[in-house]
């Protein structure tokens, strides 16, 4: 993909992951061009973060569209105006249509707050505590039609602390996300990580398991 990969970030809420991208790009530690930030929620605080950073923003609410395909077509038209080479889903709370995934095949990243394939879906922190797991974390993966099921690139894992609440655990996981998500997106931007033959590859080798970073 070459340097300064044009990247669009899709959000629905607070946008702390978006902020991590903004901070790393402005610090020069992440070589992406943040071409635009899209939200499906007009009051998403991430839109304010983007505007402060001088990044173009757009918002389309799904309520105005009859179905998912019609909404996704409108989103694609907006995104394509920015000519992104990479889409970064950062707390974008929408299920993507097959047409959307096909349109950007191999160029969509997501971060999911669990050590996939464990705990796809919602309420991951509480589910980890309920199960008594020793480890929790977050996963950056390519997006396919399978929800939270696409090929994994990078995981950040951390030990669950005795007695901590789901909220405390969730905050620690988010701090991990702010490191692993820009790192994995940087690999894609540099062309080191690619989606090939239905899987994730790093430095020309298939990733049968994701790269794992361990945090405190």
Helix (H) or strand (E) holding 79: helix 68-81
Q: Which of 7, 9, 10, 15 binds ligand GRF (CB under 6 A)?
A: 15
Name, in order, each residue with C-beta under 8 angstroms of 203's C-beta and a sequence gap of 6 or more: 192
90 binding ligand GRF? (CB under 6 A): yes
Instruction: Measure CA of the first residue to CA of the last residue in the chain; give whole Å.
Output: 33
Angle at 149 between CA 143 and CA 155, to 5 degrees: 85
Look at the block and give the residue holding tokens 């894609």: 188
Stretch touching ligand GRF by CB under 6 A, among 9-17, 52-60, 80-88, 142-150: 9-17
- Select the residue interacting with ligand GRF from 8, 9, 17, 136 (CB under 6 A): 17
Closest of 90, 92, 83 to residue 6, by C-alpha = 83
Residue 128 to residue 23: CA distance in whole angstroms:
30
The binder of ligand GRF chosen from 174, 192, 199, 213 (CB under 6 A): 174
Task: Candidates 16-24, 28-36, 77-85, 94-102: pick the segment binding ligand GRF (CB under 6 A).
Answer: 16-24
Contact between 136 and ligand GRF by CB under 6 A: the answer reads no
Q: Is 120 in the site for ligand GRF (CB under 6 A)?
A: no
Quote the least distance from Cβ 178 to ligand GRF, whole Å. Answer: 8
Question: Closest separation between CB of residue 59 and ligand GRF, Å?
Answer: 15
116 touches ligand GRF (CB under 6 A)? no
Q: Is 112 a catalytic residue?
A: yes
How far apart CA 108 and CA 66 sit, in angstroms, is 25
């Amino acid at each position: 993909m070459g340097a300064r990969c044009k990247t669009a970030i899709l959000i629905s809420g607070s946008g702390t992951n978006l902020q991590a991208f903004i901070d790393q790009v402005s610090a020069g530690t992440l070589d992406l061009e943040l071409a635009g930030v899209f939200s499906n929620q007009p009051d998403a605080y991430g839109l304010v973060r983007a505007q402060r950073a001088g990044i173009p923003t757009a918002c389309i609410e799904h309520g105005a569209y009859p179905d998912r395909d019609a909404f996704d077509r409108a989103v694609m038209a907006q995104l394509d105006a920015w000519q992104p080479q990479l889409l970064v889903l950062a707390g974008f709370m929408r299920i993507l249509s097959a047409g959307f995934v096909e349109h950007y095949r191999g160029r969509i990243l997501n971060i999911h707050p669990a050590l996939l394939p464990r705990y796809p879906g919602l309420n991951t922190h509480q589910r980890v505590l309920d199960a008594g797991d020793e480890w929790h974390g977050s996963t950056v993966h390519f997006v396919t039609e399978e929800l939270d099921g696409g090929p994994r690139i990078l995981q950040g894992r951390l030990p669950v602390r005795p007695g901590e609440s789901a909220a405390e655990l969730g905050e620690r996981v988010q701090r991990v996300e702010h490191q692993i998500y820009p790192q994995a997106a940087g690999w894609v931007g540099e062309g080191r990580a690619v989606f090939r033959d239905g899987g994730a590859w790093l430095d020309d080798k298939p990733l049968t398991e994701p790269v794992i970073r361990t945090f405190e």
